[in-house]
Amino acid sequence: MCADQRVGVWFVGARGSVATTAVAGCAAVAAGLHPPTGMVTETPPFAASGLPSLSSLVFGGHDTAACPLPKRAEELTAAGVLPHGLPAAVRGELAAADTEIRPGGPVPGDTRTDEELITSFTSDITDFTCRHGLARTVVINVASTEPAPGPDDPRLAPSSLYAAAALRAGCPYVNFTPSTGLRTAALSDAVAACGLPHAGRDGKTGQTLLRSVLAPMFVQRALSVRAWSGTNLLGGGDGAALADPAAAAAKNAGKERVLADTLGVVPEGDVHIDDVPSLGDWKTAWDHIAFDGFLGSRMVLQTIWQGCDSALAAPLVLDLARLLSRAHEAGLSGALPELGFYFKDPDGGPAALSDQYAALLSFATRLRDAR
């Protein structure tokens, strides 16, 4: 990649916690204020892959929310997500990104058709790319989880409207959410014909990351898992969105898929998601795993994961922006199963995290060797 080329990152959900943390974090790391902790693309295997630099990224996006990014960053600092003083240190970068955020939709009372919405979103993205003279723009969905559409729904899901706009604008696309995005029959022809790289779905940040490590252990040690139950306590926008049973069901499908793909069966037990507003952007996830040992001896493993989803997701989102940009530059197209490392419900590829990491390293070499 030419050193003077700049790359756009267009967030769907651009004023949410993940996008705000990503914009602030990118500016902080690029300025040398903080190390790139959690960014896999900043590790040695990716040094020669031709990825765009963090300083070359230009941010914009769509959102239905009105809170400006500098104010949102201050709220995240008060919640303990961003370090003290960071919003002030990168206020210029946050304000610049905020000026590039356009109204999303559909919103209540919106009378525009699907085609009108897609046309509007496409125009926003292409205008952003042209005005900044960007080599390309990567569209990344980091909006709140939406319920899965029904078979008789007359309209596309909002995530699919944005995904369709990304394709029309000629942009690589990442779905970091469990929402439908490109995975709808209505977009299958467009996906096949677009010649663009894409990756998804549903970023793997906390509880499911741990599941993807533990499940292969039981398989490799020939231990029979009888039941695997889990509970998530979270607040913030995600907690409110996932209080909707339909949205929670869409989220849990990815968590179950990791176990099914690795264990070969879905063990007994469910995952519960509870909205606890006082937790804000923090989450606690608990798993209870019942398994059989030698001679039928019954055993239990319990895990507790406490963390901030936006701080876990932001470095991965920056990784994906850089990887998809480089893949597009290298002429790659279609689903990129090598990026399954990042997702609960990936576009193909192995299920075990260790195998996914090996595939990702192979992808880094492929990018290095591409023109």
pLDDT digits (tens, 9 = 90+) for 207-231: 888 888 899 999 999 999 999 999 9
CA-CA-CA-CA torsion sign (367, 57, 103, 148): positive
Give 289-335 pLDDT, tens digit per residue: 999 999 999 999 999 999 898 999 999 999 999 999 999 999 999 99
Q: How far apart are CA 258 and CA 115, in angstroms?
A: 35
The tokens of 208 are what?
């499911």
Q: Please report which residue ranges of the chain form alpha helices under DSSP H.
A: 17-30, 69-78, 86-89, 91-98, 114-131, 158-168, 188-194, 207-220, 236-242, 245-263, 309-329, 353-369
Q: What is residue 240's predicted lDDT score, i.e. its pLDDT?
A: 76
Give 327-363 pLDDT, tens digit per residue: 999 999 999 999 999 998 888 877 677 888 999 999 9
What angle, rounded to 10 degrees, do the helices at 91-98 and 69-78 form? 130
Give 95-149 pLDDT, tens digit per residue: 999 999 999 999 999 999 999 999 999 999 999 999 999 999 999 999 998 988 8
pLDDT bucket at 77, cuts 50 / 70 / 90: very high
Residue pair 28/89 in contact (Cβ under 8 Å)? The answer is: yes
Q: What is residue 147's predicted lDDT score, i.e. its pLDDT?
A: 87
Residue pair 86/24 in contact (Cβ under 8 Å)? The answer is: yes
Give 134-162 pLDDT, tens digit per residue: 999 999 999 998 988 888 888 999 999 99
pLDDT bucket at 256, cuts 50 / 70 / 90: confident
Q: What is residue 254's predicted lDDT score, i.e. its pLDDT?
A: 66
Give 271-297 pLDDT, tens digit per residue: 888 889 888 888 899 999 999 999 999
Sheet holding 197-200, edge to edge: 101-103, 57-63, 7-12, 136-141, 173-175, 197-200, 334-335
Q: What is residue 210's predicted lDDT score, i.e. its pLDDT?
A: 87
- Which pTM does this prediction carry? 0.91
Q: Is the pLDDT of residue 2 over 70?
A: no
The tokens of 270 are what?
């469910």
CA-to-CA dists, residue 173 to 133, 139, 165, 229, 309, angstroms: 19, 5, 10, 33, 21
Name the residue among 350, 367, 58 with its Cα closest to residue 197. Answer: 367
Q: Which helix (H) or strand (E) is 62 found in, with range?
A: strand 57-63
pLDDT bucket at 176, cuts 50 / 70 / 90: very high
What would you measure as the largest C-alpha separation in the chain, in angstroms? 68
List the Cα angle 322/317/347 in 5-degree steps.
Answer: 85
pLDDT bucket at 249, cuts 50 / 70 / 90: confident
Q: What is residue 235's predicted lDDT score, i.e. its pLDDT?
A: 83
Q: What is residue 261's predicted lDDT score, i.e. its pLDDT?
A: 83
Q: What is residue 4's predicted lDDT score, i.e. its pLDDT?
A: 63
Q: Is the pLDDT of residue 50 over 80?
A: yes
